[in-house]
Each structure stands twice: as structure tokens, then as C-alpha cells.
Amino acid sequence: MANDGSAQAPDPGCLILTGMPGAGKSTSAPLVAAHFPRAAHISGDVLSYMVVQGRVGFTGTPPEEADRQLLLCLRNMCTLANNFAENGVFPILEYTIDNRRLLDHMLALLRPRPVMLVVLAPPLEVCLARNAARPPRERVDLDYSPYYRAMEHNLAGVGWWLDTATMTPEQTAATIAHHAQEKATVEPPPSPCHAPHVPRPHR
């Protein structure tokens, strides 16, 4: 399946692509976008690093500020996605979402659009090996094993879980572009969500 812009995007829907570091999110997302006539890749990491002074990462301190900036990043992602979708551009939101509260927060911000969730889910050892092989400046220097287990527990049965351990990025993108609409649609929460407390896995 060539990335020739021939895939059909749900109008006016959007796609959330998530997974742990090393799962292939940032590599696959722009390749998925290339399968559609008009599509945008919205990277949570890129938006997060737009805070050039005072940025606090997800595991940073104080935790209250880390949570606030995480929710700000998600809100910015969803605002961009809505703007793109309203103008006929299929948005692909790419970030690590490891629990249902954060997902429901995004679904509420994106409502009433149809939303697809694809979780790239190669085994943990594959994610760790891929992360270790990255250049030092791109490597995630964090034991994210607890977050992997949290994602498995908190998002089990939600969306489409895709094991990409034996797939190339191009194969991953083609599979998502041509099958996500039938396999990955998620239902929105019953009512608009308030900003959630961000649960942190025990180490």
C-alpha cells in the first residue's frame, strides 16, 4: 500500500497515535499523514518544547506544574486538531497518553468529532532497545517500565492496539491509514470532562 494520499479520512474526525518511547510514534505519524490527501501531524513533544523558559516535563518538579503543563499541551494539541479538522485537514495527534483520564480529557476537547485511538504496542523490551539505539540527545533517559505497565492496565481494550515489533515504519503507517477507521474508533466520555488529576505510576 503506497503512501499516495489515497486513504479516506473520516470527515471531520481525527486520530490519536500513542505509545511508549521507542514504540514508533514520531516516526510513523508523518508517514500516516502522507497517506491522506490533506493531513497534519501534531506532535505533543514539539508543542511541549515551545515553552523555552520554565518548562517542566511530565516527571519534573514541582509535580503540580508538571501536571499543569501536560494539560496545557493536550489542550493546545486538541485546539490545533479542531482548527485543522474544521478546514478539511485530517489531524494526527501524536503523544504518550498512558491513562483513561487524560484520554477522556482529550476526547471531551475534541467532541463531537469522531476520534480514533491507535496504541503502538511492541513489547517493552523492543521499546527499550529502540530507545537505547537512538542518538544520545534523542534518548529518553528514564525508566518508563512503570508507565508501560500503567498504559497496559489503564487503556486495555480501548482503541486499537498494534504490535509493531516486526513492522517497518512504512508498514505501520500503511496499516494504520487503511484500517484505523474500522478498528480504532473510541467513544467520547458521557459529559465534558474537567481537567483531570494526572495519576503517576508507582516505581
The answer to whether position 99 is within a domain reads yes
The answer to whether position 38 is within a domain reads yes
Write down the pLDDT at residue 197.
55
Q: What angle do CA 5, 9, 12 make, to 5 degrees?
A: 135
Write down the pLDDT at residue 163.
96
> Is the separation of the CB atoms in 17 and 32 below 8 Å?
yes
> Is the separation of the CB atoms in 105 and 74 below 8 Å?
yes
The answer to whether position 196 is within a domain reads no
- Residue type present at position 191: S
Burial class (CB in 10 A: 0-12, 13-18, 19+), 75: middle
State the residue range of the domain holding 70. Answer: 14-186
Residue 64, C-beta contacts closer than 8 angstroms, at least 6 positions apart: none
As a whole-number percent, the residues of the chain with pLDDT over 70 amount to 88
Question: What pTM does this model have?
Answer: 0.87
| pLDDT tens digits, 105-142 | 999 999 899 999 999 999 999 999 988 888 887 788 77
| pLDDT tens digits, 40-65 | 999 999 999 999 999 998 888 899 99
The answer to whether position 107 is within a domain reads yes
Name the DSSP letter for residue 187: P
**Mean pLDDT taken over the chain:** 89
Specify the number of domains making up the chain: 1
SS3 1: coil
- Residue type present at position 126: V
The answer to whether position 146 is within a domain reads yes
Write down the pLDDT at residue 202.
38
Banded pLDDT at 143 (limits 50, 70, 90): confident
| pLDDT at 10 exceeding the cut of 70 | no
CATH of the domain at 142: 3.40.50.300
Burial class (CB in 10 A: 0-12, 13-18, 19+), 30: middle
The answer to whether position 203 is within a domain reads no
| pLDDT at 191 exceeding the cut of 70 | no
First to last CA, the chain: 42
The answer to whether position 85 is within a domain reads yes
H-type helices in 121-198, by residue range? Answer: 124-132, 145-154, 169-183
